[in-house]
Structure 1
Amino acid sequence: MKSKNLAGGADPYRNLVNASAGAVIAWNDATGAVRSSIADKRLLRQGIETARMVRRPAKYKHRRNYEGYYWCAGSGERIWYESMTEYSALMELDHTLRLAKVVAQPFCILFGDGTRHYPDYFALHESGRQFVYDVRPEALVDERAKIQFANTREVCEQIGWGYQVLHGLTGVPRHNLEWLAGYRHPYIDPGPKIRTKILDEASESLPLARLAAALDSTQPVRYLPGIYHLLWRGDLTYDPSRPLGWHSIIERNTGG
């Protein structure tokens, strides 16, 4: 898809030449200034998580993809997405990982062979690990994309970044996570006392209906928001391959 710089132009780095025998990373820093560096471990200390978006897709009539902003519970910030596949991928990352910062369209990789690639996301995990993510439906990963992703992985390994290609969620897992995502905001956190009460009751596997009734037999729905919040956080577990409902088996996550 033809894309443009936020300030206009078909390719924000079209005039940037890679004079290196290897790969070069080019990005816009927090001030908007264009910066570039050889792809090596020095980039781990460049604060790429504060980079500005370098481009967005051109808008045109009747396009099929939907773009927007996803509010990330981990970073507490809105993150731009280009498609619903990217939306579901962001939601999955936010659910399964502890994210400190996420940047969309963070930089351009200028490969040594003259080709280039704009990864979809750069994330700083709470652990301090830095990760690069590309998002594409599995059915659309052709041979050209496989080569591009393989080259990107090699560059990330040289730098010390993790790398993963995400395909987005579909079907029941996506429906379940979209429901739980409605309870991801910190203000829904039940607090230490009630959190402990819920986790204690869920120390043994039991259906959601029984868990809710055990917490309050006269008004079982009272603690549902807190239960859903803990399911979102991963403190409680369930089978995401089956529709989430009263029958779903809930259990305390003891996996750490």
Structure 2
Amino acid sequence: MDQGGGFEAVFLDPVGQAVQQRWADAAMTVAFEDLPPVSAFPVVPGRRWGPGLWWSATTGRHVAAGSNAMRAQLMVLDRDADVTGLAGRPVRLLWRNPRGEVRSWVPQLFARRADATALLADCPSHPDAGGERAKNAAEAVAQACADIGWTYRRLPPLDDVLAANLKWLAGYRHPRNAGQPGLMAAVVEAFTRPRPLIEGTEAVGDPIEVLPCVFHALWHGRLTAGLDTPLHERLLIGPQGWSDPGKTGGAG
């Protein structure tokens, strides 16, 4: 490894063999969004939620998730229209500290953006998670990303209400919830003018059939609502790009 402090990347090739190469070269040539985890997520005894898989509506594939906090951030990124690919722990970064000692870190999340740049991220359950080692690694990984025009972030935990709303909408992210041909167009048309959720739904048809399509449209951004308030039947729903989604409808 370069004694001068250059970064290197370790990842798995298509047959599962570890490859190590210069970070700047790997970033230009490797589709990290298509790679499996370079190392498994740890299983921590006593935790209520362990490693699992998240089905991504963006890619139609599963993404490895190591914690509940990471799954919450995957929900946010999976709804982001600028994100084109997602992967869990696809790359390990290596570097030398000022004393010449080799250090390494595996960011939890990789997100490819539409402009071909990328986000590397960690998803701590609280700001001080990981201690001093995580803080030092964050500084190094942020520099490695800045060197190539990418971004690194320690993503703060989501607000409880937002997380609950996203979890609900995520249950309708699969294309099957778009319903019968023509239903999505009718749903979008019903909310051209912002109106309470239940009113627009009933204007289209039977709520049992229509609500999954409405939630699917909200997940994919075809409709807009303020998600900082718990979802309820009087929540105002508006069209894509609606600029004032923070208000709710009256009791009615």
**Shorter-chain TM-score: what band?**
0.7 to 0.9
Structure 2 gaps, min length 5: 244-252
Matched AA of 1:147: N
Are 2:228 and 1:241 aligned?
yes
Distance change >3 Å, CA 58–CA 178, structure 1 → 2: closer
Distance change >3 Å, CA 20–CA 51, structure 1 → 2: farther
Name the SS for the 2:232 alignment partner.
coil
> What residue is the counterpart of 1:7 in the other structure?
none
Contact 2:42–2:66 (CA<8 Å) still a contact in 1? no
2:193 to 204, 220, 231: 204
> What residue is the counterpart of 1:252 in the other structure?
239
> How far is 1:35 from its partner?
1.6
Contact 2:188–2:223 (CA<8 Å) still a contact in 1? yes
Distance change >3 Å, CA 42–CA 168, structure 1 → 2: same
Matched AA of 1:78: H
Identity, % of aligned pairs? Answer: 25
Contact 2:190–2:201 (CA<8 Å) still a contact in 1? no
Matches within 5 A, 1:2-151: 19=3, 21-40=5-24, 43-59=27-43, 61-63=45-47, 65-97=49-81, 99-113=83-97, 114-141=102-129, 142=131, 144-151=133-140
Distance in 2 (alpha carbons) for counterparts of 1:162 and 1:189: 34
Deviates more, 1:180-189 or 1:155-164: 155-164
Distance in 2 (alpha carbons) for counterparts of 1:239 and 1:63: 32
Contact 1:29–1:50 (CA<8 Å) still a contact in 2? no
Contact 1:44–1:160 (CA<8 Å) still a contact in 2? no
Distance in 2 (alpha carbons) for counterparts of 1:124 and 1:169: 21
Contact 1:74–1:98 (CA<8 Å) still a contact in 2? no
> How far is 1:23 from its partner?
1.3
Aligned CA RMSD, in angstroms, stands at 2.5
Aligned residues: 238
> What residue is the counterpart of 1:195 in the other structure?
184
Distance in 1 (alpha carbons) for counterparts of 2:213 and 2:79: 15
Q: Structure 1 length as normaliser, TM-score? A: 0.82
Contact 2:224–2:242 (CA<8 Å) still a contact in 1? no
